[in-house]
Copies of this chain bind each other. A is one copy, B any other.
Amino acid sequence: MSMMKNSGDRPICQHCHQASGHTCVARVPIFNHLDNDQMDAVTEAIRSLTYQKGDIIYRAGDPSDSLYIVNTGSVRIYRISDSGKEQVVRLLQPGDFTGEYALFSESLHESYAEANEPVTICTIRRNNLQDFLMRYPSIVLKILKTYSARLEQSEKQTTSLATESVGKRLSLYLAELAEASGSDTIRLPMNKKDLASFLGTTPETISRRLADLEAKGLIHKLDPKRFRLLDKNRLENL
């Protein structure tokens, strides 16, 4: 399998398999440190899928036997609480993966994964993944690292919900977006409804708090989704 197969002549992934599979493998932190032969081996085991905006990739209660790696686009992971309300727990960007819980525990998905826009996803089955874990132990440490970072992130989110005001949570979120994109002009990666759900509030309150921040001269709204951060320092230490 050549690495250069799809250069120029066709868009990535119409009914792609190995070609975009390899870009996927090269992109994710848990595999991208492997050498070429090893990556090829992993690529063999990968199946590539595409989804349209709104498609459900898996839902709570589904049995799971695959790891899902986002290649292009973004995927919204959400849960339904005991009282039936939906909450967005994270947004997967290219290179992020999910499905691990069920992968190691042989249990069922507890959350929903939905295409937030058109996405291409690489999947790898449990058996194959476990083979690779045995063959290339360095992958294990990568996965453990990613896991602990995710856990860290999740606990931080919990603490933020438990102790900070909506304004503070929003400000920190905006600052993080800027951090991640390396620019002071940011684009909200979700609509206000989903962002509200992620931050544990309502779309109305998001609108109001953004208006407050703009009134204070901390941000400038370019359009409903794009903002320029005018004073990141003051924003973070609100």
- Whether A168 is near chain B, meaning CB under 8 Å from some CB there, is yes
Among the listed B100, B103, B164, which residue makes an inter-chain contact with A82, where contact means beta carbons less than 8 Å apart? B164
A103 to chain B, nearest CB (A): 8
Among the listed B151, B156, B168, B236, which residue makes an inter-chain contact with A147, where contact means beta carbons less than 8 Å apart? B151
Given contacts A89-B159, A158-B87, contact A164 B104 (CB under 8 A): no
Given contacts A148-B100, A155-B154, contact A162 B83 (CB under 8 A): no
- Whether A39 is near chain B, meaning CB under 8 Å from some CB there, is no
Quick check: B158 and A101 within 8 Å, CB to CB?
A: no
- What 0/1 readout, one digit per residue, does chain A (136-151) give for beta carbons within 8 Å of chain B? 0100110111011111
- What 0/1 readout, one digit per residue, does chain A (193-220) give for beta carbons within 8 Å of chain B? 0000100100000000000000000000
A238 to B99, CA, bound (A): 31
